[in-house]
Amino acid sequence: KASVMEGDKFDYEEMEDSHEKSKAKSAFEALQEERKKLPMFPYRDELLEAVHNHQVLVIVGETGSGKTTQIPQYLHEAGYTKRGMIACTQPRRVAAMSVAARVSQEMGVKLGHEVGYSIRFEDCTSEKTILKYMTDGMLLREFLGEPDLASYSVVMVDEAHERTLSTDILFGLVKDIARFRPDLKLLISSATLDAEKFSDYFDSAPIFRIPGRRYPVEISYTKAPEADYLDAAIVTSLQIHVTQPPGDILVFLTGQEEIETAEEILKHRTRGLGTKISELIICPIYANLPTELQAKIFEPTPEGARKVVLATNIAETSLTIDGIKYVIDPGFCKMKSYNPRTGMESLLVTPISKASANQRAGRSGRTGPGKCFRLYTAYNYHNDLDDNTVPEIQRTNLANVVLTLKSLGIHDLLNFDFMDPPPAEALLKALELLFALSALNKLGELTKVGRRMAEFPLDPMLSKMIVASENYKCSDDIISIAAMLSVGNSIFYRPKDKQVHADNARLNFHTGNVGDHMALLKVYNSWKETNYSTQWCYENYIQVRSMKRARDIRDQLAGLLERVEIELTSNANDLDAIKKSITSGFFPHSARLQKNGSYRTVKHSQTVHIHPSSGLAQVLPRWVVYHELVLTTKEYMRQVTELKPEWLVEIAPHYYQLKDVEDSYSKKMPRGAGLPS
Ligand code: ADP
Ligand code: MG
């Protein structure tokens, strides 16, 4: 059985056994038949004609009509790839990977050959690649190396309605190059019917509408607000499973942790249902889900069983799962929020918009009449939800984008052609931060440090930490830390039934209260010493997959160090050197202990706390630097390391003054005497 993600198994020309060959061939033919059934198919020629006649085209069609998988293939069949590659951007990396895998199957080629994908830290393309699915962020980075995108004949900015930061910036850039590259075709595709805005922005580009097929969806609300939506979602899933006719269930949750919890509870509760109830197959899908497991959501549900897909927002429009008849919508998603006044950014669980709620409901009515269970009241829906999600550009830290634009030679940011401009305050904040990080000079021009930083596909504070490590002779250690931080919070494994063991294993890496960054380094180095042993990971409750990913990222960061001519040197025994490098990038994230055990950020006096999972949660050092903030019940600092307050003035004299850090060390630590006063 060939699964979706294993495009290579489909290369039937390489198969020896003729039986296998004919099986694969007929599967291939079956796929061709499926392609013809998509709503997109009857409009193939009309679309090709429209592309031929217009340089820029806005394409609108329901999710699942075949925009992402079919349009690049049609264009290829029509010969556009003779002049260059076709790029198709996706806001989410899982979508880029999954869709590329599907299209490689449909074309009967190996994934990574003619059809490939490119996401941050993972390039699955080759010389042969003609259809390239990529995250919008990756295409943005390609401008750095190729400002006119000369290797592409078509750029399709897909899922435009998502309005991610990178997509919004791409709009401005592709609009600009389209003017001096008349041969370049530009497609802007979107799932929402509100396409006029895109058309207006692209100088009244024509809109191509693909009529959707949509069945009625019966929507129900709860009578009263749910206190615990996760539990309500689980109970509703089980009720549907036990009482409703066949058809799969799609549950929208906010993130990996929540999905894993739901998965565990569902497994536990279905065990108690007895044998009279049919099987419930639980399929999680979220950004960090390992590739092999992603395919599972697309496998047809066996006769008599029912599938329940636990998904993040990714299933709202980016991925279409066939067979969904029931949607459970708790009404939340995880969203970045940004306070331009303080420059503080935080991920938080937020109510969705009406537009999102309607997209979610629509997922149940694709192949037949569906049902959507909203776990909030009708009053909530009508009165509390915003109509549309605010574009990311208006609610995020812009430092990264500003650095990229500056590297592209775009200086006048206030007059950049934004579809919706970011708040001026946020732009200024970004410039201020980049100046504080020494990436820009007083005139707002890119410095040597800034140019080096821009080479790294990381947030400016992380890239600054890496670039600064040259001064402290610890670049080798710092890129390991940066790689581990980039993997996210999936290094340590904490099974419910072995929490004590897992916690003990974890504490081993914290000996000496070295802080979370050093602990990550220790994990990485210990794993390396065992020659990257899987067994070692099991014994220490470490996720092998995350470690392998960290190793890949690390290798790439090492390559980039070489490119910016920073020597790889290790200084693992000099704790202060490593901490100073971290501080060089993260000094805006410093906080000071309060009497009650909470912290105050040094710059803006916000109250924050050390996350309970931190090795320093019980230690409570007087001064700390943190990697990020997460808002759950409180504003938590995640990945925390102790610092010496005098470093702040030493490293960032234009950002902190002596008075900011005075109280403690002027009294307790006389070594401040040598500092400028
Ligand atoms: P759109 O972009 O218009 O939302 P897609 O091109 O993504 O539509 O999807 C068209 C069809 O292809 C859908 O019916 C979907 O089920 C199928 N499909 C897309 N990706 C995959 C995949 N990775 N595995 C299996 N089927 C897929
Ligand atoms: Mg799509």
DSSP code string of 434-473: HHHTTSB-TTS-B-HHHHHHHTSSS-HHHHHHHHHTTTTT
The residue whose C-alpha atom lies closest to atom 22 belonging to ligand 1 is: 102
Give the ligand whose atoms come closest to the C-alpha of residue 40.
Answer: 1
Mean pLDDT, range 452-469, rounded to an integer: 96
**Torsion of the alpha carbons at 474, 476, 481 and 484, rounded to the nearest 10:** 180
Ligand nearest to the CA of 2: 1
What's the angle, vertex CA 587, arms to CA 586 and CA 588, rounded to 5? 90
User: Which pLDDT belongs to residue 20?
Assistant: 66
- Look up the ipTM and state it: 0.98
The DSSP code for 90 is E
Query: In ligand 1, which atom is closest to the CA atom of 159?
Result: 2
Here the tokens at position 418 are: 């934004």
- Ligand 1 center to 568 CA (angstroms): 44
Mean pLDDT over the full length of the chain: 91
Exposed (0-12), middle (13-18) or buried (19+): which is 499, by Cβ within 10 Å? exposed
Q: Rounded to the nearest whole angstrom, what is the distance from the C-alpha of residue 159 to the centroid of ligand 1?
A: 13
Instruction: Report how far ligand 2's centroid is from the alpha carbon of 45 (Å).
Output: 19
- 179 Cβ neighbours under 8 A, 6+ residues apart: none
The model's pLDDT over 568-624, given as tens digits with 9 standing for 90+, comes to: 999 988 999 999 999 999 999 999 999 999 999 999 899 999 999 999 999 999 999
Task: Compute the distance between CA of residue 437 and CA of residue 428 in angstroms, rounded to an integer.
Answer: 14
Instruction: Indicate the SS3 state at residue 25.
Output: helix
Minimum CA distance residue for ligand 1 atom 6: 66
Q: How far is CA 264 from CA 223, 267, 436, 497, in A?
A: 27, 5, 45, 12
Q: Is-contact 563 548, C-beta < 8 A? A: no
pLDDT at 263: 95
Question: From the alpha carbon of 322, which atom of ligand 1 is closest?
Answer: 16
* Amino acid letter, 135: T
CA dihedral 580, 581, 583, 589 (to 10 degrees): -160
Mean per-residue pLDDT, 449-467: 96
Q: How far is the CA of 6 from the centre of ligand 1 (A)?
A: 16
- Categorize the per-residue pLDDT at 145 as very low, low, confident or very high, splitting at 50, 70 and 90: very high
3-class state of residue 87 by DSSP: strand
Question: What does the pLDDT average to over 346-359?
Answer: 91
Looking from the CA of residue 366, the nearest atom of ligand 1 is 14
Please report how the helices 516-529 and 544-563 are oriented relative to each other, as an axis angle in degrees rounded to 10. 100
Bridge partners for 630 per DSSP: 347, 636
- Count of beta carbons in the 10 Å neighbourhood of residue 288: 16
* Residue pair 324/318 in contact by the 8 Å Cβ criterion: no
C-alpha span between 319 and 425 (Å, rounded):
35
CA 645/CA 642 separation, integer angstroms: 9
Q: Residue with the nearest Cα to atom 7 of ligand 1?
A: 68
Most confident segment among 111-115, 299-303, 602-606: 111-115
Length of the chain: 677
Residue nearest atom 27 in ligand 1 by C-alpha distance: 102
Residue 643 CA to ligand 1 centre (angstroms): 50
**Cα–Cα distance measured from residue 413 to residue 396, given in angstroms and rounded to the nearest whole number:** 16
3 state SS of 484: helix
Rounded to the nearest angstrom, the distance between the alpha carbon of 191 and the centre of ligand 2 is: 8
Percent of the chain with pLDDT over 70: 95
Which atom from ligand 1 is nearest to the alpha carbon of 210? 3
Ligand 1 atom nearest the C-alpha of 158 is 2
> Which token pair is 250?
């799609």
Minimum CA distance residue for ligand 1 atom 17: 320
Q: In this structure, what are the phi and psi dihedrals at residue 263, rounded to the nearest 5 degrees?
A: -60, -45
- Please tell me the distance between residue 9's alpha carbon and the centre of ligand 1 in angstroms: 19
Kind of pairing between the strands at 248-252 and 324-329: parallel
Q: Which of 404, 316, 308 is nearest to 356 (CA)?
A: 316
Q: How far is the CA of 461 from the centre of ligand 1 (A)?
A: 37
- Ligand 1: residue of 70, 102, 294 to mutate (most ligand atoms within 8 A of CB) is 102
| Amino acid 21: pLDDT | 64
Ligand of minimum distance to the alpha carbon of 362? 1
Residue 401, beta-bridge partner list:
none
Residue 70 Cα to ligand 1 midpoint, Å, equals 9
Q: What single letter denotes the amino acid at residue 514?
A: V
| Locus of tokens 């989410």 | 92
For residue 86, give the nearest of 142, 140, 154 by alpha carbon: 154
At which residue do the structure tokens 């309607």 appear? 358
Which residue has the CA at smallest separation from atom 21 of ligand 1? Answer: 102
**286 contacts: CB under 8 Å, gap ≥ 6:** 94, 255, 256, 259, 311, 312, 314
Look at 247-256, 600-609, 628-637 and tell me which has the smallest mean pLDDT: 628-637
Q: Spell out which residues have Cβ within 5 A of ligand 2, the ion.
A: 68
Cα(317) to centroid of ligand 1, in Å? 10
**Contact of 404 with 156, CB cutoff 8 Å:** no
CA of 55 to the centre of ligand 2 (A): 21
Q: Give the residue-averaged pLDDT of 277-300.
A: 88
Q: How far is the CA of 64 from the centre of ligand 1 (A)?
A: 6
Enumerate residues lining ligand 1, CB below 6 A: 4, 38, 61, 63-70, 98-99, 101-102, 298, 320, 322
3-state secondary structure 278-328: CCEEEEEECCCCCHHHHHHHHCCCCCCCEEEEEECCHHHHCCCCCCEEEEE
Range ranked top by mean pLDDT from 125-134, 330-339, 660-669: 125-134
- pLDDT on residue 632: 78
pLDDT in tens, 490-540: 899 888 788 899 999 999 999 999 999 999 999 999 999 999 999 999 999
Q: Whose CA is nearest to atom 14 of ligand 1?
A: 64
Instruction: Tell me which of 630 and 532 has the higher pLDDT.
Output: 532
Give the ligand 1 atom nearest the CA of 70.
6
Note the pLDDT of residue 5: 37
320, 363, 367, best to mutate for ligand 1 pocket (most atoms within 8 Å of CB): 320
DSSP SS3 for 395: coil
The structure tokens 């004299």 sit at: 653
Q: Which atom of ligand 1 is nearest the CA belonging to 62?
A: 3
Q: How far is CA 410 from CA 384, 405, 413, 437, 556, in A?
A: 39, 5, 7, 19, 27
Three-class secondary structure of residue 258 per DSSP = helix
Proportion of the chain in helix, strand, coil states, percent, rounded to 5: 45, 20, 35
- Position 676 pLDDT exceeds 60: no
In this structure, the residue with its CA closest to atom 5 of ligand 1 is 66
Separation CA 6–CA 244 (nearest Å)? 34
Report CA(44)–ligand 1 centroid distance (Å): 16
Q: Which atom of ligand 1 is nearest to the CA of 65?
A: 3
Residues 212-241, mean pLDDT to the nearest whole number? 94
Pocket test for ligand 1, best of 3, 9, 37, 69 (most atoms within 8 A of CB): 69
